[in-house]
Structure 1
Amino acid sequence: MRQAARLFFGFLDILLALLLAAMAVMVFVNVVMRYTMNSGLPVSDELSRFAFVWLTFIGAVVAYHHRQHMGMETVVAQFGRRGRLVLMGISDLLILGCAGVLTHGTWKQLPINASMSAPVTGLSMAWVYGIGLFTGLGIILITLERLARLATGRITEDELRGFGGEMTEHPQPASAPRPQDRGE
């Protein structure tokens, strides 16, 4: 299961890179065309905006998976293990509620968006704004997995330290000898 999740999030990382590259190329080509030929590609403007929406919503799931979202680490750092566990549970429950609202709202809005077309490409706007379903469901699944681990006591100390804003890895200075160099 962990391998499947690792592959899935690796795929999302590649997709994000491709979306960012596509946006950069489309915008660059349009700028050059407008400067040199006094015209541009309207489809480039529209598709780069759609790519930005997808980039943002897919990136939200990836950032949430890696716990790179914003948090109140200053407050959480003041608590010990038990307090952090409680705050983590409360935080995950609030996130679950917000992701549920996002998913429900996107689902209710989808028929309206499906009936509208993009002005240049003619794409259904459901393709653009339907990404909210992916984001909402992705965050719900990640949060449910975290809550299950919290309820069963399988939260690691590194996760708790990370939740409090503490660094989980302590890199050694370049001048410090490595353990294998010291014969350990």
Structure 2
Amino acid sequence: MSRIISFFFKGLEGLLVLLLAAMVVMVFGNVVLRYLFDTGIDVSEELSRFLFVWLTFIGAVVVGRENAHLGVETLVARLGDNGRKVCMVLSDLFIIGCCAVFFWGTWQQAEINATNYAPITEISMLWIYGVGFFTSIGLGLMAVLRILRVVTGRVSEHELKAFAGDYSGDEAHALRERLE
């Protein structure tokens, strides 16, 4: 199961690279066209904006797996393991709540976005803003799984240290734990 999850996230990372590369090509191409010929490709302007939205929201899920989102460790660093576990569960409950609100908002807007079309490409805006479904489910699921690991006692010491902002230690050990 962990291999499937690892493969899934490697696929997401590959998708992020492709999205970023496509954005760079489109934006740079438009800059060159505007500089040399005083014109640009309208489709590339619109698509690069859409790709930026997808890049941001898919990237949030990838970063969520690596626990690399912004955090305030000042208080948590002073707590022991039990205090860190309580804070970890509380923060994950907060994340689940935010994901539920985000999912519900995306759901509420889905009908409007499905009938609203981009001005140049005429892509349904649901394809752009529907990425909120993926992000809310992805981040929420990871938070639920982490709560389950804390409750069942399967959260590692390294993960507790990282939650408190302490990233010292054996890098190979950290990589091994992340892949498990």
Corresponding residue for residue 51 of structure 1: 51
* One-letter amino acid of the counterpart of residue 107, structure 2: W
Q: CA RMSD in A?
A: 0.9
Question: Which structure is higher in RCO with an 8 Å CA cutoff and minimum separation 6?
Answer: 2
Q: Does 1:87 align with 2:87?
A: yes
Corresponding residue for residue 155 of structure 1: 155
Corresponding residue for residue 61 of structure 1: 61
Corresponding residue for residue 177 of structure 2: none
* One-letter amino acid of the counterpart of residue 6, structure 1: S
TM-score w.r.t. the length of structure 2 is 0.93
Looking at structure 2, the residues matched to 12 and 168 of structure 1 have their Cα atoms a distance apart, in angstroms, of: 27
Unaligned 5+ segments in structure 1 are 172-184
* One-letter amino acid of the counterpart of residue 77, structure 1: A
Partner secondary structure for residue 78 of structure 2:
coil
TM-score w.r.t. the length of structure 1 is 0.91
How many residues are aligned here? 171
Unaligned 5+ segments in structure 2 are 172-180
Corresponding residue for residue 12 of structure 1: 12
Corresponding residue for residue 26 of structure 1: 26
Displacement after TM superposition at 1:67 (Å): 0.1
Looking at structure 2, the residues matched to 70 and 5 of structure 1 have their Cα atoms a distance apart, in angstroms, of: 23
Corresponding residue for residue 103 of structure 2: 103
Partner secondary structure for residue 62 of structure 2:
helix
Larger helix proportion of the pair: 2
* One-letter amino acid of the counterpart of residue 90, structure 1: L
Hey, which bits of structure 1, 4+ residues long, moved more than 2 A?
168-171
Q: Flag the structure with larger Rg.
A: 1
Looking at structure 2, the residues matched to 168 and 15 of structure 1 have their Cα atoms a distance apart, in angstroms, of: 30
Displacement after TM superposition at 1:169 (Å): 2.9
Partner secondary structure for residue 140 of structure 2:
helix
Percent identity, aligned pairs only?
51
* One-letter amino acid of the counterpart of residue 162, structure 2: G
